[in-house]
Amino acid sequence: MRFLPTITSLGLLGGLLLLGSCKKDFLVENNPNALPAASYFQSENDVLLALNGVYAALRDNSGVAEGSDLYSEQRSDNTGTNDTQSNAGEPFQFNNFSLLPTNSYLQSHWTALYQIITRANFVLAGSETVPYGQPTTKAQYQAEAKFVRALIYFRLVREWGDVSLVTQPLTTPDAVLTNTFREKKETVYAQIVKDLQDVIASPLPDVQAAANTGRASKVAANALLGKVYLTMALTLDQAGRTTNLNQAKTYLTAAYSKRSFGLLKEIAYADVFDVSKKASNPEAIFRIVYRQGDINYSSRIAANYQAQGETINSQRTNTGVGGNVKPDLVKDYEAGDLRKDFSIKYANAAVVKDYFITKYRDVSAAAGTSGYGGNDWLLLRYADVILMLAEVNNYLGDAATAIGYLDQVRNRAGLPSYAAASANPAYSAKYPTLRLAILHERRVELAFENHRWFDLLRTFTPQELTDYFRAKSQADYGAAQLSNFGLKDYYYPIPFNEAKLNPTGMYQNPGY
């Protein structure tokens, strides 16, 4: 199988060149494992193979895959390591709000995201140069590449704000330097919207057939575009707030209308994450597919999250603390919430006396004692869409409709309706507004799916978010110091290696 040459982020200049740049003829050699992009695309099958390479890049745990929690969930108030080794190292900086521009994990994250975008850009450019048996094939391949590019730029713009916007392959040092500058986030969002609107207008199916599980679809594009518009409404110029909210409602409703079930309660919560039922999971919208039992393409999340002395997640023995859960989240589950016992468990081993994540499980013989699980990583699912519909309707002033969507999720979890819960003084004190009740519901419904940090960024202004974190109990937060949180933490710092290439164009975010 042939793939495009791997191309790294904007900051790693050498990796951006398809061929070596040495000028000594006797040193010029062809890499037998790589092909120049100019000669790679010869047929539509080459485009398909390159597109498969785009999807393969989504598996990178430094990007958006199942192991990317360091960049999202551990940044939030849901999880975060407490061991002294992490305390002294770079990973702990994310959790501790002491992140430095020189952090190598931060650089790896930036690089991984731009590698995915680079692959998508090569597919889009190369797809224009080959003949097709059917004209719709070209349009479908391009739509899939645009969906992934939009997905990744949406991640970048929420984490860094203004970022480099590249929509064409960069194959020379001059091209790299020309594009090494930060584009305003409004312009980045405009590109994301354009890409996703192109996907929705494409000949892609509403829902992919089982044989194409893990590939982009129109439903996925509608769901993602709805989330993009909702985020724009709450984080960009407020002059466009209502327009963006209405757009969010339109696209989220379009995605919701294509579901194959009636109410969410028809799908048991545990079934959404059941490895044996993943092929027929009606709640999944877009996911990264893993192959059970395969040393290269299996999921490791169940085994990695399991704590010492436990066997609920995997047959593999784990000697560490697994996926640590902050007491702040444990206390946010309501009494009787079915999701709590499924998602977390208390470990009482020598090295860990704390809650760990049990949401992802594969104790099958196929996964075995090596923990080569078959869990798929869900990036979009219907509960997410339903709760966004609650959110957007509430912001538009339609509380009744918002509550109806909220109650769908609460009903499946075995909880009383919002009206009944609000009559409880403890609940109404913790969530005095419908907005905060929806934020709470998203937290416990989508815990450990890497949504929480972005929900907080969308819900609060930088000052509100600072106040929110500093009002929490340090005793419920673990080793990370809440007092470190400040206005700077709304965005990540631009990695040092990127900023040094063009200190003016790649200006640093405030506070770093």
Going by C-alpha positions, the residue among 208, 97, 103, 81 that lies closest to residue 147 is: 208
pLDDT given at position 351: 85
Report the DSSP beta bridge partners of residue 356.
324, 345
> Do residues 89 and 483 make contact, with C-beta atoms less than 8 angstroms apart?
no
Cα torsion 241, 222, 152, 443: sign: positive
Is residue 74 helix, strand or coil? helix
- The secondary structure of 252-273 as a DSSP string is HHHHHTT-SSSSGGGS-HHHHT
Q: Which residues contact 159 (CB under 8 A, 6 or more apart)?
A: 71, 491, 492
pTM of the model: 0.94
> Do residues 57 and 9 make contact, with C-beta atoms less than 8 angstroms apart?
no
Is residue 344 helix, strand or coil? strand
Phi then psi for 127, rounded to 5 degrees?
-70, -15
Helices and strands per DSSP (H, E), number in the chain: 22, 4
Beta strand 377-381 pairing with 284-288: antiparallel
- The secondary structure of 369-418 as a DSSP string is TTT-B---EEEEEHHHHHHHHHHHHHHTT-HHHHHHHHHHHHHHTT---H
pLDDT given at position 34: 54
pLDDT given at position 82: 79
Is residue 444 helix, strand or coil? helix
Is residue 287 helix, strand or coil? strand
Going by C-alpha positions, the residue among 496, 510, 435 that lies closest to residue 466 is: 510
The architecture in CATH of the region 1-204+474-512 reads Alpha Horseshoe (1.25)
Amino acid identity, position 470: R
Residue given tokens 């020189």 in the structure block? 102
Quick one: tokens of 190? 């405009």
Spell out the alpha helix ranges (H) of 257-381.
Answer: 269-272, 301-305, 327-330, 338-343
Distance CA 112, CA 251 (A): 29
Phi then psi for 284, rounded to 5 degrees?
-70, 135
- The secondary structure of 206-243 as a DSSP string is SS--GGGTTS--HHHHHHHHHHHHHHHHHHS-GGGHHH
> Do residues 295 and 367 make contact, with C-beta atoms less than 8 angstroms apart?
no
Distance CA 348, CA 353 (A): 5
Q: Which residues contact 194 (CB under 8 A, 6 or more apart)?
A: none
Residue given tokens 């965005």 in the structure block? 491
Is residue 348 helix, strand or coil? strand
Going by C-alpha positions, the residue among 333, 341, 330, 357 that lies closest to residue 449 is: 357
Quick one: tokens of 243? 């327009």
Q: What angle do CA 51, 54, 55 make, to 5 degrees?
A: 95
pLDDT given at position 84: 62
- The secondary structure of 125-153 as a DSSP string is HHTTSS--SSHHHHHHHHHHHHHHHHHHH
- The secondary structure of 162-174 as a DSSP string is SB----S---SHH
Distance CA 432, CA 424 (A): 11
| Sequential pLDDT tens for the chain (512 residues) | 333 333 334 533 333 333 233 333 333 344 545 556 668 999 999 999 999 999 999 999 999 999 999 999 999 999 998 766 766 789 999 999 999 999 999 999 999 999 999 999 999 999 999 999 999 999 999 999 999 999 999 999 999 999 999 999 998 889 988 899 999 999 999 999 999 999 999 999 999 999 999 999 999 999 999 999 999 999 999 999 999 999 999 999 999 999 999 999 999 999 999 999 999 999 999 999 999 999 999 999 999 999 999 999 999 999 999 999 999 999 999 999 999 999 999 999 988 899 999 999 999 999 999 999 999 999 999 999 999 999 999 999 999 999 999 999 999 999 999 999 999 999 999 999 999 999 999 999 999 999 999 999 999 999 999 999 999 999 999 999 999 999 999 999 999 999 998 999 999 999 99
Quick one: tokens of 133? 């048996």
For residue 10, how far is the Cα from the chain centroid? 21
Burial class (CB in 10 A: 0-12, 13-18, 19+), 8: middle
pLDDT given at position 324: 94
Going by C-alpha positions, the residue among 406, 416, 480 that lies closest to residue 443 is: 406
DSSP state at residue 357: E
Q: Which residues contact 464 (CB under 8 A, 6 or more apart)?
A: none
Distance CA 417, CA 409 (A): 10
Ordered by start, the domain boundaries in the chain are: 1-204+474-512, 301-375
Distance CA 11, CA 173 (A): 11
CB atoms inside a 10 Å sphere around CB 388: 27
Condensed to tens digits (0 to 9), the pLDDT of residues 405-456 reads 999 999 999 999 999 999 999 999 999 999 999 999 999 999 999 999 999 9
Quick one: tokens of 24? 């000594």
Distance CA 296, CA 280 (A): 24
Going by C-alpha positions, the residue among 491, 472, 492, 494 that lies closest to residue 483 is: 472
> Do residues 265 and 408 make contact, with C-beta atoms less than 8 angstroms apart?
yes
